[in-house]
């Protein structure tokens, strides 16, 4: 066995206690072997965590990582106008090489800000799979399906692509890759396609991931046409099962929260995107109180505008209190749980906790910065004061992806330069079109 | 004349355009002399801004900097319980040395995250004045007055201290220090004290700074007792004049917004604190549309929990859209303006713009980080993606306070260690009391 030992730090345990401990990792299997100060084992590799906190790598449960290429391209617009006037026209020009450049930039940012796993819905999935494999991250990926603007033939091509991607790449990259069937949303995919393809995905044992109840514009048409709430409709279609996870869930009523809890489907909260697009405030504390599994995601960088999950934790705590009109709602420990175990459970990976048997997806946070002094409460700091730039080391699946802020699996300068070039060319093409 | 030249960067101009330019600074007078690439002058000192953006130092228009000692001490509580159960008992134990340790930690964080000026309400102002002088920052300071829990004699002592502090330190530290008379709020200072002392402050030509309409608990008693809105009451007392600035202004109605605009008093928006304490969402876009001068502040680190004004800009844009139910509200350029010229105007310093004649309060932001690529729009990045850790150099009053992230006016390790020690001792005393 080949081992990695993370030494001399404090460790955040699954119950949110912080203890002095080392962490021993199996580099071949990519799992955590032991947590404690007195582990009796020589290690093949060590990582210094002195003055730092060893904690689970953060899990970004809803992203479109290639959209990092469009960071800052169009801001300060509501969802509908933003998609139709800016994002979709630019996306129409995207090549596989653009998507690779954007995905690599996004993953570089993730590794540098302590994210070790993510769920991603986009196009050109084979390209993304290859990029994830090289970057060393863990991801659940899928091809986003939209049928409403297409003829029957075009819609079927999209559906087939999504199902075949979900089948082909599950378990790729030594098991770091998993997949889901990803119809875009309940209003952008027709009922017959949803019904048939969701049944097929279920037969294959593949989860379903979709956008749900992000804006009132997505809710009202379903209520008007069908006389039922969107999640009742989703339930009729068999889309609210354990394993499945729904992005956003901003405009959900009590009956829909109960449905999520009863059926065991997870919600992925995306607070920054919901604020930036003025979509609304998700009832996160109410979902948690009802027993819904809630994860946390950044959404794409174009509506955030970063992929820093520390930012997202802070945003979740902040907006969660406003939504509940209660400063004690969505407390520090709650958002840390949401960004680690909550997200990991939502997307179905055995990460998000530092304990033997879990995936060795870990980060070491440097506690020395002025904004992390004094240390009355480290969990408070994780939620309210820490940021991605405080991450010292990043480990995924037992492999060190970043050591002392140097990313080992990617050439940082090349990735940034390639992204800049592709972004410039993309905008030029979109403006010509 | 002794000069500093900031070379080879891009510069953010007051109209939010970004141009290639150098900036020439008079180190003795502390002012900006020239902005351009072809400045014909040898400089005594240079700062490299290549690959970076020269922009105004951020101005934190409402802070209690010594409270940095209480960062993370008590979270996830509403304002009233948080003050009464945690903050006031801890503050009762504060010594001047604790206040100095906390203020130094906070100023270290400010310098490292690109803030060059701030307004501060607290106690032990002579100690703070001394610490500001050494740190090299610009500040408008005042002694916070609370009379309602005191007998007449105690109240008068507090008032007298506040007025004498406001008189004594205005113009100290080579003009970097200015003062204000700072009654805590309309509900914590009695009417007769407010009326008399505000009149005295006005005679002295000193601004008045106070908390206003932060929570409904501050608004309702005034409406109930007086039959008028709090800012109508403040206006009766002569507190809404140009020069004066009001922290928070969350629960202000249209008539109060009009009063602020008509009288020329400024509002200081504190979005993070308002979210974290679930105080509510200030109608920032409506205030701006009405012509109110709006600045931006972090409030104390205990309700934030950091002093990073980049965080605060992002928070302001995010919550501003939700409050207006409009994704185009409180746009990127608006929050950058708010954190620079808006705040500078609110607290009455000639900073917040890069142009000849303004104070040489400047920062250089490194644009090379992955989270700032690609560069479709730099102003968008300032609002949504940049963070304090991207600041490369910090200059205040023509003096370099931080060069290549090394703070020159403070010993970073000592400041952090002293803060940790004082925080530990303070908590022990508060728990014993």
- Please write the tens of the pLDDT for every residue from B405-422: 999 999 999 999 999 999
Query: Per-residue confidence at B80, pLDDT binned at 50, 70, 90?
Result: confident
Tokens of A66: 């290639």
Is-contact A239 A210, C-beta < 8 A? yes
Tokens of A25: 């990792």
In what order do the strands lie in the sheet containing B18-20?
A: B18-20, B10-12, B52-56, B362-366, B391-396, B399-403, B406-407
- In angstroms, the CA B34 to CA A231 distance is 61
For B374, which of A318, A328, A420 is closest by C-beta distance? A420
Q: Do A308 and B371 touch (CB under 8 A)?
A: yes
Question: How confident is the model at residue B78, as a pLDDT?
Answer: 82
For B105, which of A71, A370, A384 is closest by C-beta distance? A370
Q: Which domains does chain A have, with CATH numbers?
A: 3-56+358-407 (2.30.40.10), 58-347 (3.20.20.140)
Question: How confident is the model at residue A401, as a pLDDT?
Answer: 98
- In angstroms, the CA A395 to CA A47 distance is 10
Q: E strands within A291-354?
A: 294-296
Annotated binding-site positions of A for Zn(2+): 62, 64, 211, 299
Q: Do A322 and B427 touch (CB under 8 A)?
A: no
Question: How confident is the model at residue A78, as a pLDDT?
Answer: 82
Report the gap between the CA of A320 and the closest CA in chain B (Å). 9
Question: How confident is the model at residue A331, as a pLDDT?
Answer: 98
Tokens of A82: 């933003």
- Provide the Cα torsion B249, B254, B259, B265; round to 10°: 30
- In angstroms, the CA B75 to CA B316 distance is 21
Q: Which residue of A has its CA nearest to B324?
A: A278
Q: Do A331 and B307 touch (CB under 8 A)?
A: no
Q: Do A423 and B374 touch (CB under 8 A)?
A: yes
CA distances for A100 relative to A169, A309, B370, B389, angstroms: 17, 22, 15, 28
A425 burial level (CB within 10 Å; 0-12, 13-18, 19+) = middle
In tens, the pLDDT along B227-246 reads: 999 999 999 999 999 999 99
Is-contact B98 B69, C-beta < 8 A? yes
Question: How confident is the model at residue A80, as a pLDDT?
Answer: 84
In tens, the pLDDT along B158-207 reads: 999 999 999 999 999 999 999 999 999 999 999 999 999 999 999 999 99
Q: Which residue of B has its CA nearest to A405?
A: B369
Q: Do A376 and B70 touch (CB under 8 A)?
A: yes
Question: How confident is the model at residue A305, as a pLDDT?
Answer: 97
Q: E strands within A126-207?
A: 138-145, 177-179, 182-183
CA angle, corner B341, sides to B308 and B60, nearest 5? 30
For A109, which of B71, B370, B376 is closest by C-beta distance? B370
Is-contact A214 A248, C-beta < 8 A? yes
Query: Per-residue confidence at B431, pLDDT binned at 50, 70, 90?
Result: confident
Question: How confident is the model at residue B42, as a pLDDT?
Answer: 87
Q: Which residue numbers in chain A have pLDDT < 50?
A: none
A253 burial level (CB within 10 Å; 0-12, 13-18, 19+) = middle
Annotated binding-site positions of B for substrate: 91, 184, 214, 299
Report the gap between the CA of A276 and the closest CA in chain B (Å). 5
Q: How many CA atoms lie within 13 A of A343 on its CB side?
A: 36
Which residues does chain A have within 8 Å of residue B428's beta carbon, measured at their own beta carbons?
none
Return the SS3 of A90: helix
Could you tell me which of B24, B1, B30, B2 has the C-alpha nearest to residue B11? B24
Choose from A70, A72, A98 for mutation: most chain B CBs within 10 A. A72
DSSP code, position A57? P
Question: From the CB of residue B13, how many other CB atoms can be counted at a distance below 10 Å?
Answer: 14
Report the gap between the CA of B15 and the closest CA in chain A (Å). 18
Tokens of A322: 């406003």
Question: From the CB of residue B395, how many other CB atoms can be counted at a distance below 10 Å?
Answer: 28
Query: Per-residue confidence at B41, pLDDT binned at 50, 70, 90?
Result: confident
Q: Do B318 and A272 touch (CB under 8 A)?
A: yes
Q: Do A420 and B306 touch (CB under 8 A)?
A: no
Q: Do A376 and B82 touch (CB under 8 A)?
A: no
Q: How many CA atoms lie within 13 A of A111 on its CB side?
A: 30
Q: What is the 3-state secondary structure (H, E, C) of chain B?
A: CCEEEEECCEEECCCCCEEECEEEEECCCCEEEEEECCCCCCCCEEEECCCEEEEECEEEEEECHHHHHHCCCCCCCCHHHHHHHHHHHHHHCCCHHHHHHHHHHHHHHHHHCCEEEEEEEECCHHHHHHHHHHHCCEEEEEEEECCCCCCHHHHHHHHHHHHHHHHHCCCCHHHCEEECEEECECCCCCHHHHHHHHHHHHHHCCCEEEEECCCHHHHHHHHHHHCCCHHHHHHHCCCCCCCCEEEECCCCCHHHHHHHHHHCCEEEECHHHHHHCCCCCCCHHHHHHCCCCEEECCCCHHHCCCCCHHHHHHHHHHHHHHHHCCCCCCCHHHHHHHHHHHHHHHHCCCCCCCCCCCECCEEEEECCCHHHCCCCCHHHHHHHCCCHHHEEEEEECCEEEEECCEECCCCHHHHHHHHHHHHHHHHHHHHHC
Report the gap between the CA of B349 and the closest CA in chain A (Å). 26
Q: Do A370 and B108 touch (CB under 8 A)?
A: yes
Q: Kindly report whether the peptide bond that precedes residue B200 is cis, defined as omega within 30 degrees of 0.
A: no
Question: How confident is the model at residue A83, as a pLDDT?
Answer: 87
Annotated binding-site positions of A for substrate: 91, 184, 214, 299
Q: Which residue of B has its CA nearest to A325?
A: B278
Which residues does chain B have within 8 Å of residue A387's beta carbon, measured at their own beta carbons?
387, 389
Question: How confident is the model at residue B432, as a pLDDT?
Answer: 87
Q: With a cut of 90, say whether residue B47 has pLDDT above it.
A: yes
Q: Do B318 and A376 touch (CB under 8 A)?
A: no
Report the gap between the CA of A117 and the closest CA in chain B (Å). 18
For A389, which of B314, B331, B387 is closest by C-beta distance? B387
Is-contact A387 B387, C-beta < 8 A? yes
Question: How confident is the model at residue A153, as a pLDDT?
Answer: 94
For B416, which of A280, A311, A370 is closest by C-beta distance? A370
Instruction: Give residues with Cβ within 8 angstroms of A189, minimum separation 6.
Output: A145, A146, A147, A148, A183, A210
Average pLDDT estimate for B90-117: 97
Q: Do B419 and A373 touch (CB under 8 A)?
A: yes
Report the gap between the CA of A36 and the closest CA in chain B (Å). 26
- In angstroms, the CA A13 to CA A100 distance is 36
Interface A–B counts its CB contacts (< 8 A) at 202
CA angle, corner B395, sides to B392 and B396, nearest 5? 150
Q: Do B423 and A374 touch (CB under 8 A)?
A: yes
CA distances for B429 relative to B303, B345, B426, angstroms: 21, 40, 5
CA angle, corner B313, sides to B312 and B316, nearest 5? 85
Question: From the CB of residue A179, how many other CB atoms can be counted at a distance below 10 Å?
Answer: 27
Instruction: Note the ipTM here.
Output: 0.97
Choose from B374, B375, B416 for mutation: most chain A CBs within 10 A. B374
Which residues does chain B have within 8 Å of residue A376's beta carbon, measured at their own beta carbons?
70-73, 423, 427
Which residues does chain A have within 8 Å of residue B420's beta carbon, measured at their own beta carbons?
373-375
- In angstroms, the CA A331 to CA A170 distance is 35
- Averaged pLDDT of chain B: 97
CA angle, corner A280, sides to A276 and A282, nearest 5? 115
């Amino acid at each position: 066995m080949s081992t990695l030992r993370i030494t001399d730090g404090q460790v955040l345990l699954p119950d949110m206690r912080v203890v002095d401990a080392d962490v021993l990792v199996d580099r071949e299997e990519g799992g955590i072997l032991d947590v404690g100060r007195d582990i009796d084992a020589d290690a093949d590799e060590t990582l210094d965590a002195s003055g730092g906190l060893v904690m689970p790598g953060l899990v970004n449960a809803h992203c479109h990582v290639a959209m990092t290429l469009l960071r800052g391209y169009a801001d300060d617009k509501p969802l509908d106008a933003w998609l139709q006037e800016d994002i979709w026209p630019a996306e129409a020009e995207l090549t596989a090489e653009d998507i690779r450049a954007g995905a690599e930039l996004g993953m570089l940012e993730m590794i540098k800000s302590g994210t070790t796993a993510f769920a991603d819905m986009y196009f050109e999935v084979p390209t993304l799979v290859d990029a994830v494999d090289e970057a060393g991250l863990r991801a659940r990926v899928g091809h986003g399906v939209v049928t409403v603007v297409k003829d029957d033939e075009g819609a079927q091509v999209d559906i087939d692509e999504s199902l075949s991607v979900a089948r082909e790449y599950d378990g790729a990259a030594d098991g770091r890759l998993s997949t889901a069937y990803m119809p875009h949303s309940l209003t952008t995919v027709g009922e017959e396609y949803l019904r048939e393809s969701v049944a097929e995905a279920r037969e294959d044992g593949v989860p379903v991931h979709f956008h749900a109840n992000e804006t009132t514009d997505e809710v009202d048409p379903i209520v008007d046409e069908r006389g039922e709430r969107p999640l009742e409709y989703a339930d009729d279609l068999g889309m609210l099962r354990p394993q499945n996870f729904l992005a956003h869930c901003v405009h959900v009523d009590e009956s829909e929260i109960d449905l999520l809890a009863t059926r065991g489907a997870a919600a992925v909260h995306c607070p920054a995107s919901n604020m930036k697009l003025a979509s609304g405030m998700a009832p996160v504390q109410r979902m948690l109180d009802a027993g819904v599994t809630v994860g946390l995601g950044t959404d794409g960088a174009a509506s955030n505008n970063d992929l820093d999950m520390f930012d997202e934790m802070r945003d979740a705590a902040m907006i969660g209190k406003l939504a509940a009109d209660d400063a004690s709602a969505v407390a520090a420990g709650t958002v840390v749980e949401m960004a680690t175990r909550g997200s990991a459970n939502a997307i179905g990976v055995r990460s998000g906790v530092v304990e033997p048997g879990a995936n060795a997806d870990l980060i070491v946070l440097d506690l020395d910065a002025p904004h992390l002094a004094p240390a009355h409460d480290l969990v408070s700091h994780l939620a309210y004061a820490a940021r991605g730039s405080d991450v010292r080391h990043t480990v995924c699946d037992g492999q060190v992806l970043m050591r002392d802020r140097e990313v080992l699996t990617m050439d940082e300068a090349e990735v940034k330069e390639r992204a800049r070039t592709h972004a410039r060319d993309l905008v030029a093409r979109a403006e010509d079109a």
